Structure 1
């Protein structure tokens, strides 16, 4: 099976954009991703596209993938829409990698888009709720925040995790997000701000919860046969893992860990031939502060029950041993459901290309992205690693459109 490479990735600003549509946001992300490719890439180079979106508000639920890709000029290519709640575009990236590795395509676009801020608060709660179990969670009145509050309560009861440790996650991510020009909540907050904020679902305060967001993100995946046409400094998709679990929290054996994340991480590490100690940074799914603490444990950054202490220690800070959510994470950067996973990949691309500005992890060679759907019904993990200089002797290869003319 051939290797797949990340050759470009970008996102729009995340936030509230009443003058934008899902099509216009997707165009902005696509054009920025194409421009991020070191060598020229034309739209004609893209063989296939996979687009993640939930369709918040009910807009273009059918054929939303082709509606986005045709708008940006990707005419005639196969386009698939992926819906896996908040993990939609993380799974889109996985699908793109599969298409490249299988030999069905040489360049695949994987992206996502969501508009979330033009509906009422009640409507937004409904659309967030559909990512939970319908009969016994959403229709009985349980909110998305309420489900994660139950997970936080259970973790506190079992391991002694504290509200202050949850707040340390928020403080760190806001500190990082303040350095990210794309972040929706690009400002710092103090521990006191997070602790004293309004309660959303006890024990979660406002600063423990991510915002609802508009945005789009796109990643471009290329095969080993053509990667040299686009970059001298390739970023290999070293490992991919994905898993699913019961959608309802009440259907699972434990509230203090997400088994889908654990299984996805184990597979990604095995395929990459690494352990968590080999990572230089990670982008994890922190829709709520407790979710980042669970991710520390599920991804093997620490033992079960030690996530709160890890958050408090500073080791996951920008200058720590393993920086986590250098982008600001969902908490500060924002969470446009369908675009979140691809947005994490865009941050990984910046870090591994050395283009992350004043949030750059010095010497970053290997990073991980972790994207969760709902409260853990689905999860996908990618490991990316930089292979500096491996393509430097073959940059003069013909552009793909010339090759096609010759073959014709």
Structure 2
């Protein structure tokens, strides 16, 4: 396992439905927490990577704005986007900047202030994350896309609505304990199954909510990490892949191939396998997305992911605890911030700072972050 780059600081704002301040202030909440966590000052940071999906925020070129506000001038600043996986794409860029020797300490900032536009406008922009010639003009939306994946999984493997509902019940159990989550209450199986349909078979509780939020990660090369941090968390493996933007170009709809390929790369780089992962954060924008992740990441064979949630194996104490911070289904999904929040959760777990949802003895963690409907996929493996 390579231990060349580590995460030495992590921070996150609360995820909320309508943040009253500016994007500067929103990002500062996460940045301040990460800088204090790392025990450094803005002057120690050699470069910044800002991750934000375009057109939700009114500010053009946010990297320059945030570098000024956070005291990061005249260091270089970059903007990175890959839709919902922007945060982990930014981490991959920062890793490369450090490995190349260009910079020794790099900050990754992910954010989104989605409340600056209406829900209808947000849905329209999400639709334009697909092909604007052959798909989005026909009214495709994110719930509809994932509903098609759910139907395909149901048809091929016999998965049921109750299997998906069990995932949402788990999210509520752990989201209740997460002080930074939008939704902090449990839901019953009956509530999930009897909720209004959004795009059949997906119902209201099967879908995550838009949110405003920010996340921040500080990365350092090995020498600086050991010098500055009492508990660096090492980046052991990175995988990244893509797939056709149009669903008609996909081999199948019962899984996300970009996630499978990215996972294979990350496992190979880290020299581990699915059986070695102690805790995982997966991209559960919809309940079916978490179920597919179980299979795409190798935690279960194709078609057997539902067995994990039925048997409680993805709960604390199970074979592979997944989304013990409540996931996107409870935390909310501020697009550019999501990946950074997922990484922060695993960092806290590997430090033994997970509080009431700590996985005992967690030494290796995994983050699975998807952009769009499986257009982009990032998998990151972290270790103590």
State the TM-score, normalized to the length of structure 1.
0.92
Aligned with residue 109 of structure 1, among 107, 110, 122: 107
Equivalent residue, structure 2, for 1:89: 87
Cα pair 1:284 1:369 within 8 Å, conserved: yes
The residue correspondences of 1:113-124 to structure 2 (distance < 5 A) are 113-124=111-122
The residue correspondences of 1:354-393 to structure 2 (distance < 5 A) are 354-386=352-384
Equivalent residue, structure 2, for 1:217: 215
State the alpha-carbon separation in 2 of the partners of residues 71 and 221 from structure 1: 20
State the secondary structure of the residue aligned to 1:57.
coil
Instruction: State the shift of 1:247 in Å.
Output: 1.3
Equivalent residue, structure 2, for 1:46: 45
State the alpha-carbon separation in 2 of the partners of residues 113 and 377 from structure 1: 20
State the alpha-carbon separation in 2 of the partners of residues 312 and 69 from structure 1: 47
Equivalent residue, structure 2, for 1:21: 22
Aligned with residue 162 of structure 2, among 161, 164, 167: 164
Aligned with residue 336 of structure 1, among 334, 337, 346: 334
State the alpha-carbon separation in 1 of the partners of residues 14 and 292 from structure 2: 27
Cα pair 1:93 1:111 within 8 Å, conserved: no
CA-based RMSD: 1.2
Equivalent residue, structure 2, for 1:403: none
Instruction: State the shift of 1:315 in Å.
Output: 0.2
Q: Deviations over 1:49-93 (max 9, x none)?
A: 1111013435123x2112122211111111111110000111001
State the alpha-carbon separation in 2 of the partners of residues 58 and 5 from structure 1: 30
State the alpha-carbon separation in 2 of the partners of residues 170 and 117 from structure 1: 24
State the alpha-carbon separation in 1 of the partners of residues 24 and 54 from structure 2: 12
Q: Deviations over 1:329-386 (max 9, x none)?
A: 1110110001100110111111111111101111111100010000000011110000
Cα pair 1:132 1:144 within 8 Å, conserved: no
Q: Name the larger-Rg structure.
A: 1
Q: Deviations over 1:84-109 (max 9, x none)?
A: 00001110011111111121111111
Instruction: State the shift of 1:141 in Å.
Output: 0.5
Cα pair 1:178 1:185 within 8 Å, conserved: yes
Instruction: State the shift of 1:21 in Å.
Output: 1.7
Equivalent residue, structure 2, for 1:406: none
Instruction: State the shift of 1:229 in Å.
Output: 2.4
State the secondary structure of the residue aligned to 1:287.
coil
Q: Deviations over 1:234-262 (max 9, x none)?
A: 21100011011111222211101111101
Structure 1 residue 350 and structure 2 residue 351: aligned? no
State the alpha-carbon separation in 1 of the partners of residues 12 and 55 from structure 2: 19
Where structure 2 has 5 or more consecutive residues not aligned to the other structure, the ranges are: none
Instruction: State the shift of 1:228 in Å.
Output: 2.0
State the alpha-carbon separation in 2 of the partners of residues 329 and 230 from structure 1: 30
Q: Deviations over 1:137-186 (max 9, x none)?
A: 21110111000000000000000000000001101011111111000111
State the alpha-carbon separation in 1 of the partners of residues 357 and 99 from structure 2: 32
State the secondary structure of the residue aligned to 2:83.
coil
